[in-house]
Structure 1
Amino acid sequence: MPFTQSDLAQIAAHGLSITETERQLELFRNPPEPLSIDRACTPGDGISLFDADREGPLVQAFEESANKGRFSRFVPASGAASRMFKNLFHSAAALDQWLNDGDCPDFPFHQQFFSQFSRFPFYQALKDCLRSRRQQDLDLLLQQRNLAPALAGLLEPWGLDYARRPKGLLPFHAYPDRVRTPLEEHLSEALKLAGAEGTPVRLHFTVSPEFLEDFQQAARLASGQIPAVNSRPIAISFSCQHTSTDTIAVDLDNRVLRNERGELIFRPAGHGALLDNLEKSGGDLVLVKNIDNVVPEPQQPEVIHWWKLLGGKLVEIQSRVHAILRRLESSANNENCRAAETLLETLGLPASSHGDKVPRSRRDQLLQQLNRPIRVCGMVRNSGEPGGGPFWVAGRNGTTPQIVEMAQIPRDDKRAQQALAAATHFNPVLMACALRDHHNRPYRLSDFVDEQAIIITRKSEQGLELKALERPGLWNGAMAGWLTLFVEVPEQVFQPVKTVNDLLRPGHQVTSN
């Protein structure tokens, strides 16, 4: 069915072209072949381990680059906290059990939440809210085991409305004098990685347009409340996912879907849409980490140490790659080509050049293989945490290390399932990225995307069953063409808050209990 004039105007207003919209529709009709998973990356086969003897030089490499102001931080932070609280949305039966018995063993999540309610970092904010808006005493409600008003105050619009708020602005950690949000903890962590005094501290958050002003205000407040901020230049910037990265939705028969007003339905296309934000953030060496993976200040030294190792390894690899690229540009002799091939092998990549080719052709292939963005990604040993992981993926340019989401692994592919069963590590999203070439020019990151690495999912919206198209994930297909190194990091650096009860874990306590 051809697009109407109204459709064309809507597509243009969304920042999309007809060609791009039709490309998306064709992906629904004829999805690409699934990824060809060869095997899991494991220690010694795709995952490196840091040598204790090398930690000192790597930390030094990081600090030297940090002192030059080369590092910045990129934090995807647009997610709402609704998933954190989803287990509390339907709590009537658990509330009744708790009220009547002071116990609800049939509801273990609620049991933990109710029994430790006063330990949550939002307790004081909720107490103030109930007193001012409902003239209720939270301490008394807890004594009476009457927690229905407390849940309402926590989740509903008349109260704190946390189910709708962005996760990055919620209270995460209770200090003796105040609470801190994830945004503040990211700033605290970035300060400790900023290098010598006077070196600028740069952080970039991607946020929902609805809460942009809230984030900006929170950043201004945080800049005046965290020690050491005033002694450094600090630049906290924000951007929003552009509507031009949205994708069109279709029904289950791959026909264009419309809402009750007859308009096309477009949806956000997943974190892969943030690639443009990453490029436009203007970073040189960029540390990428999710908004909810933060720890309180007393626990940050361990995280800082591993960031320095990851960043130092990135500096080391980039120095080697850039040196080889300069040599290749100056001369196509065999010595330079062999050095480039050796470096590719070190990165676990096949060298597509061959010694019998004419020197210039061989050199050009090596330049093409090495002149790419670089990332060093921390990987954590599996311990039941969900998430994608590191795999060797076969493609047109040989078998390369990639981060693969669970949804990308075909269930009917025996080899892929065997690789999944053999996986030893998962991706915590802890990446050090180099975004500039050996002439200090920023890469055009869209040149290194595997456009076929999409994910098609089934969703429900406004009562309609639909198919949604996710762009290649930011650390998945969007970085498929990058030079990639995986290294093992400890589980202590991965402390995400996926549910509200995660805030009770030891990794989120300011003092030990």
Structure 2
Amino acid sequence: MTLTENDLALLAEKGISEKKVHDQIETFKEGIPFVQLEKAATVGEGLSKFTEAEESELIQKFDASQSNLSLLKFVPASGAASRMFKALFNFLDAYNPANETLDGYFERTNDKALKAFSEGMTNFVFYDLVKQRIAGKTSSKDEEVYLFVKEMMSEEALNYGFYPKGLLPFHNYGDHTATPFEEHLKEAAVYAKTDDTAELHFTISEQHGDMFNTEFNTVKERVSAATKTSFKVSYSNQKTSTDTIAVDMQNEPFRNSDGSVLFRPGGHGALIENLNEQDADIIFIKNIDNVTVPKFATEVADSKKVLAGVLITVQEKAFAYAKSLDNDELTAQQLDDIKSFLENDLNVRFSDSFSSFSIGEQIEVLKDKINRPIRICGMVKNEGEPGGGPFWINDRKGNISLQIIESAQIDMDKDQQANILKNSTHFNPVDLVCAVRNYKGEKYNLMNFVDVKQGFITGKTKEGRELKALELPGLWNGAMAFWNTIFVEVPSSTFNPVKTVNDLLRPAHQVK
């Protein structure tokens, strides 16, 4: 591979080293192997489930500690709303009310998504606004549905498809509507504030910065008054230095029609660099579209407190053991106690040869295993088709560990692997509570705990030509592969994502 002067100038502009490009090219050539699943993590086998009494104790543990902790809520929020409205865009392309009835369209296309949309139209948060904007322009119900959708999606009108998902109206409170951004502020006020201040960090697209600032200025007084909380909000963008090179089918750099090398965003795994720039005792991570209305708020907040209570409990022990490994002359029994803690509390697995190591060697292994970031990951019961979730995996070095694995990482051509996925009991809702400091209070460099071999290679096209693209290891997948991990079952009521516009019709998004 030869890079031109223009290529090198582009690398310099993006902050990407020539070595990184060469490494990515090698990854394309070598391919990324599927992960090797050992078994699904289930209750009692890598996944914890607590009784009501235990949950109450964990909540009390967090509540008692909260005022002495620095807390941060980290919200990936760069997603655009365009995919959420895919069915509506398709409808505008495929339907003309002058030539066809709506029932005729449904019969011709079997468009169940648009049918559900039209039947639930009055329950959408934006119904009154759109209805007012198209008043007097429609002569039939069919035309009303068409113009309603057009008013939502047209660039000359509301242009909802352009918006970042975090700034769309989600919930109708009568006197105002609330965006996911506002709902995250309200939620943080319950479980992610110290004294009277809640701190949040949103990762957003650069072009949406002014929109988020405007939204914060619009809602902060209302939310502060309602929650008796002040808010510190910060933002960051996915770094251009995390873009990955695209290649052609011969694994040579893919070049655009102007001769420039094509780079593509590296996926949400790039956000590990943004997370690495944050520092707090506890960091809550939750996606921008996973919010709910007040009637479910207590259950959601209690669930977060349970996870945080687990983190505080296990971290206290981990810190004490890590300190003793640094400072004390330890007996074989004390080393065995530390090993048992790592195995039973932090799900760490050791090689069969560990017992044959010298005391000094065992201490070094234990130090390595215990001095890592910790993540407590909420997991929801499967209630349909299983997707990514909690699994025990065997990596290429023969190490067994708990990981969050996406279905794309699994070789579905192998029946044994496909069956492990099919029979898994829980999936990943992206509900993490993280600790990123060691017992001395020093922040870990999170980049040291990434498994770079857990990325994805996908096929794409550009300008009618095939290419291969590289996604970095996902933020909660390979980017946290070498963290200490605990999985905990959480209620399904805590998982309310809005992947399509019709999800807003669910009870979790209906205020009344």
TM-score, normalised to structure 2, is: 0.94
Query: What's the C-alpha RMSD, in Å, of the aligned pairs?
Result: 2.1
2: distance between equivalents of 1:218 and 1:507?
Answer: 23
Aligned to 1:24: 24
Q: Which piece of structure 1 moves more, 349-358 or 291-300? A: 349-358
Q: Which amino acid aligns with 2:123?
A: R
Query: Residue 130 of structure 2 contacts residue 152 of structure 2 at CA under 8 Å; is this kept in 1?
Result: yes
1: distance between equivalents of 2:432 and 2:246?
Answer: 31
- The CA deviation string for residues 222-255 of structure 1, in whole angstroms up to 9 with x for no partner, is 2112154674332111100000000001122322
Q: Which amino acid aligns with 2:471?
A: E
Aligned to 2:46: 46
Query: Residue 69 of structure 2 contacts residue 282 of structure 2 at CA under 8 Å; is this kept in 1?
Result: no
Listed as ranges, the matches of 1:98-497 within 5 Å are 99=101, 101=103, 104-105=106-107, 106-127=110-131, 130=133, 136-137=134-135, 140=138, 143=141, 145-194=143-192, 198-228=195-225, 231-333=228-330, 334-346=332-344, 347-352=346-351, 354-384=354-384, 387-395=387-395, 396=397, 398-497=399-498
Give 1:493 shift: 0.7
Structure 2 residue 88 is the aligned partner of structure 1 residue 88: yes
Give 1:95 shift: 5.7
- The CA deviation string for residues 368-417 of structure 1, in whole angstroms up to 9 with x for no partner, is 01100001101111112564111111123621110001110012233321
Q: Which amino acid aligns with 1:416?
A: Q
1: distance between equivalents of 2:391 and 2:95?
Answer: 42
Give 1:66 shift: 2.0
Q: Which piece of structure 1 moves more, 328-337 or 198-207? A: 328-337
Q: Which piece of structure 1 moves more, 6-15 or 25-34? A: 25-34
Query: Residue 171 of structure 2 contacts residue 511 of structure 2 at CA under 8 Å; is this kept in 1?
Result: yes
Give 1:64 shift: 2.6
Query: Residue 272 of structure 2 contacts residue 475 of structure 2 at CA under 8 Å; is this kept in 1?
Result: yes
Aligned to 1:133: none
Q: Which amino acid aligns with 1:474?
A: L
Identity rate, percent? 40
Q: Which amino acid aligns with 2:246?
A: A
Please give the secondary structure, in 2, of the residue aligned with 1:121. Answer: coil
Q: Which amino acid aligns with 1:478?
A: A
Q: Which amino acid aligns with 1:21?
A: V
Q: Which amino acid aligns with 1:205?
A: F
Q: How many aligned residue pairs are there? A: 504
Please give the secondary structure, in 1, of the residue aligned with 2:304. Answer: helix
1: distance between equivalents of 2:140 and 2:67?
Answer: 51
Query: Residue 402 of structure 1 contacts residue 476 of structure 1 at CA under 8 Å; is this kept in 2?
Result: yes
Q: Which piece of structure 1 moves more, 106-115 or 242-251? A: 106-115
Query: Residue 387 of structure 1 contacts residue 428 of structure 1 at CA under 8 Å; is this kept in 2?
Result: no
Please give the secondary structure, in 1, of the residue aligned with 2:232. Answer: strand
**C-alpha spacing 1:483/1:264, structure 2 compared with 1 (3 Å):** same
Q: Which amino acid aligns with 1:91?
A: F
**C-alpha spacing 1:458/1:332, structure 2 compared with 1 (3 Å):** farther
Q: Which amino acid aligns with 1:340?
A: I
1: distance between equivalents of 2:105 and 2:129?
Answer: 25
1: distance between equivalents of 2:38 and 2:314?
Answer: 25
Please give the secondary structure, in 2, of the residue aligned with 1:436. Answer: coil
> Unaligned stretches of 5+ in structure 2?
none
1: distance between equivalents of 2:115 and 2:96?
Answer: 10
Please give the secondary structure, in 1, of the residue aligned with 2:37. Answer: strand
2: distance between equivalents of 1:460 and 1:17?
Answer: 25
Give 1:42 shift: 1.2
2: distance between equivalents of 1:492 and 1:373?
Answer: 28
Give 1:452 shift: 0.6
- The CA deviation string for residues 245-276 of structure 1, in whole angstroms up to 9 with x for no partner, is 00001122322111121111110011100001
2: distance between equivalents of 1:100 and 1:471?
Answer: 44
- The CA deviation string for residues 63-94 of structure 1, in whole angstroms up to 9 with x for no partner, is 13321242210110000011111011121555
Please give the secondary structure, in 2, of the residue aligned with 1:459. Answer: strand
**C-alpha spacing 1:146/1:199, structure 2 compared with 1 (3 Å):** closer
Structure 2 residue 16 is the aligned partner of structure 1 residue 13: no
Please give the secondary structure, in 1, of the residue aligned with 2:50. Answer: coil
Give 1:317 shift: 1.0
Give 1:160 shift: 1.1
2: distance between equivalents of 1:390 and 1:70?
Answer: 28
Please give the secondary structure, in 2, of the residue aligned with 1:104. Answer: helix
1: distance between equivalents of 2:302 and 2:453?
Answer: 37
Give 1:320 shift: 1.1
**C-alpha spacing 1:51/1:427, structure 2 compared with 1 (3 Å):** same
**C-alpha spacing 1:42/1:260, structure 2 compared with 1 (3 Å):** same
Please give the secondary structure, in 2, of the residue aligned with 1:452. Answer: helix
2: distance between equivalents of 1:355 and 1:65?
Answer: 38
Query: Residue 73 of structure 2 contacts residue 192 of structure 2 at CA under 8 Å; is this kept in 1?
Result: no
- The CA deviation string for residues 279-330 of structure 1, in whole angstroms up to 9 with x for no partner, is 1122321111111010012221110111110111111111111111111111
**C-alpha spacing 1:483/1:11, structure 2 compared with 1 (3 Å):** same
Give 1:164 shift: 1.6
Please give the secondary structure, in 1, of the residue aligned with 2:421. Answer: helix
- The CA deviation string for residues 81-111 of structure 1, in whole angstroms up to 9 with x for no partner, is 1111101112155564984659835322111
2: distance between equivalents of 1:81 and 1:448?
Answer: 32
